[in-house]
Amino acid sequence: MLRVCVIGMGAIGNKHAKAYVDSKNAELAGVCDIRRDRAEAAGERFSVPYFLDAEEMLRELKPDICSITTGGKEYSSDHYLPTMQALNAGCHVLGEKPISDNLRHAAEMVETAKKLGLCYGIDMNHRFTPAARQAKKWQDDGRIGELLFCNMALWIGKFMPLDSPYYHLKALNPHSVNIMQYFMGPVDLVSCFAMKATGRDIWSTASINMKFECGAVGHLTSSYDIRRGHPMERCEVAGINGRMIFEDMWREATLYPSETYLKEVYTNPVFDGYKGFDDTFRNRIWTFVDQVERGDKPEDIDGSGLEGLEAQRVIHAAIRSLDNGGIPVKVSEVFD
Ligand SMILES: NC(=O)c1ccc[n+]([C@@H]2O[C@H](COP(=O)([O-])OP(=O)(O)OC[C@H]3O[C@@H](n4cnc5c(N)ncnc54)[C@H](O)[C@@H]3O)[C@@H](O)[C@H]2O)c1
């Protein structure tokens, strides 16, 4: 049984803690928040000791795994400190997305985990669903073939004041870019245009073109401006052998094979299927626990820190392009 702690007890930290409590292979040992009200409430909710200081908790409880569910500027600047503390205490770490607002911090966290031989994952929960796995299986079985294009779209309504003009690009798109890279591989070139919708002071809707290293092309539309999404996410991947659409994370995946007019559809079952967004957290977190329990190599972690870093590098390249009138930017040349 793996012993787990969670650092950062906002809404998302509570989702992680609940997933560990419900896991067969993990036991929640403690929770921590620098805010006493949140630490105490989570400690009471899960009947575990609570701490206001992460290092103290790591020293006392010596967990095997630590979830880092802090936030901060651009929903991510606070991840660096507790991630480094947890890694240096010898924990495998599952961090929230975005990996960091700062690419140099992100690279240092990835490098530290590698140097210490520890597993480091990022909560790319949107693709930890049976529908996404089915889509990947079609691809692995050769049903897509040589890749041609990927069209991705992700939108939610987020209207509160935000702390940076790039918040939407950096905080929402780790999911969408990671999904694109999952099917298409690394991104070579990026070009971005964006708008500030009426009444907004951030780049709230964006259009990003990509060229992948494999030669295929891609496009991402993302927005914080749509009040009611339904669905909120859509990924289309096309190759010479077929085209597939993976709809709204867990709801449906459809394959349109090139050789027939018969399509194949995976539909989320009414019973035993995904009932809501929280199931994506559970599936992602349990996958990490299973990989650590099995002793998988750090480089084999599905949704790794390195994937989180690569997704963020594409987003930083898009921001550089946006700031320069949409010129193409080479991702491999972006380090901060
Ligand atoms: N995967 C997803 O689908 C998804 C969805 C929403 C948010 N998120 C991510 O989850 C993270 C948390 O989101 P939230 O809404 O719960 O944020 P939040 O700001 O409400 O909570 C973060 C908590 O971390 C605490 N904290 C900060 N630094 C700390 C430290 N060094 N030690 C202990 N506690 C510390 C803060 O006091 C705060 O209570 C963000 O990175 C966000 O991007 C992920």
Same domain as 176, residue 90: no
Same domain as 113, residue 13: yes
Distance CA 115, CA 299 (A): 12
69: domain CATH number?
3.40.50.720
CA of 77 to the centre of ligand 1 (A): 10
Give the per-residue pLDDT at 91: 98
Percent of the chain topping pLDDT 70: 100
Domain assignment of residue 13, yes or no: yes
Given 77, 98, 118, which residue is the final one in a domain? Answer: 118
Domain assignment of residue 9, yes or no: yes
CB of 33 sitting under 6 A from ligand 1: yes
Ligand 1 atom closest to Cα of 12? 16
Q: Do 174 and 284 meet the contact criterion of CB atoms below 8 Å apart?
A: no
Q: Is 278 helix (H, G, I), strand (E, B) or coil?
A: helix
The dihedral through the CA atoms of 22, 26, 27, 32 has a sign that is negative
On the question of pLDDT at 230 being above 80, the answer is: no
The model's pTM: 0.97
CB of 8 sitting under 6 A from ligand 1: yes
CB of 270 sitting under 6 A from ligand 1: no
Q: Which of 79, 111, 77, 108 is nearest to 94 (CA)?
A: 79
On the question of pLDDT at 22 being above 90, the answer is: yes
Domain assignment of residue 204, yes or no: yes
Q: Ligand 1: which residue has its CA nearest to atom 34?
A: 33
CA of 69 to the centre of ligand 1 (A): 4
Same domain as 75, residue 30: yes
Same domain as 191, residue 258: yes
CA of 255 to the centre of ligand 1 (A): 36
Neighbours of 11 (CB within 10 A): 9
CB of 168 sitting under 6 A from ligand 1: no
Give the per-residue pLDDT at 201: 96
Given 118, 137, 164, which residue is the final one in a domain? Answer: 118
Please write the tens of the pLDDT for every residue from 258-274: 999 999 999 999 998 99
Domain assignment of residue 124, yes or no: no
176: domain CATH number?
3.30.360.10
Domain assignment of residue 192, yes or no: yes
Give the per-residue pLDDT at 229: 66
Same domain as 176, residue 320: yes
CA of 191 to the centre of ligand 1 (A): 30
Given 96, 118, 140, which residue is the final one in a domain? Answer: 118
Give the per-residue pLDDT at 225: 95
On the question of pLDDT at 228 being above 90, the answer is: no
CB of 17 sitting under 6 A from ligand 1: no
Same domain as 158, residue 107: no
Strand segments, DSSP code E, in the chain are 2-7, 26-32, 50-51, 65-68, 92-95, 120-122, 147-155, 187-195, 205-212, 217-223, 233-239, 242-247, 252-257, 264-267, 329-330
Same domain as 203, residue 71: no
Same domain as 316, residue 276: yes
Same domain as 99, residue 134: no
* Helix axis angle, 80-88 to 103-116, nearest 10°: 10
Strand segments, DSSP code E, in 142-297 are 147-155, 187-195, 205-212, 217-223, 233-239, 242-247, 252-257, 264-267
Tell me how many domains the chain contains: 2
**CA–CA distance from 146 to each of 124, 184, 257, 303 (Å)?**
25, 10, 13, 23
Edge-to-edge strand order for the sheet containing 217-223?
264-267, 252-257, 242-247, 233-239, 147-155, 217-223, 205-212, 187-195, 329-330
Range of the domain at 231: 129-282+311-333
Domain assignment of residue 297, yes or no: no
On the question of pLDDT at 105 being above 90, the answer is: yes
CA of 10 to the centre of ligand 1 (A): 6
Same domain as 160, residue 95: no
CA of 13 to the centre of ligand 1 (A): 7
Domain assignment of residue 306, yes or no: no
Same domain as 136, residue 113: no
CB of 123 sitting under 6 A from ligand 1: yes
Domain assignment of residue 123, yes or no: no
Ligand 1 atom closest to Cα of 13? 16
Q: Give mean pLDDT, residues 92-102.
A: 98
**CA–CA distance from 336 to each of 34, 81, 191, 209, 315 (Å)?**
28, 18, 17, 20, 11
CB of 314 sitting under 6 A from ligand 1: no
Same domain as 97, residue 10: yes
Distance CA 236, CA 238 (A): 7
Q: Which of 260, 199, 195, 246 is nearest to 222 (CA)?
A: 195
Q: Give mean pLDDT, residues 123-136.
A: 97
On the question of pLDDT at 237 being above 70, the answer is: yes
Q: Do 326 and 190 meet the contact criterion of CB atoms below 8 Å apart?
A: no
Distant-in-sequence, close-in-space partners of 323: CB < 8 Å, separation ≥ 6: none
Q: Give mean pLDDT, residues 176-181.
A: 98
On the question of pLDDT at 134 being above 80, the answer is: yes
CB of 30 sitting under 6 A from ligand 1: no
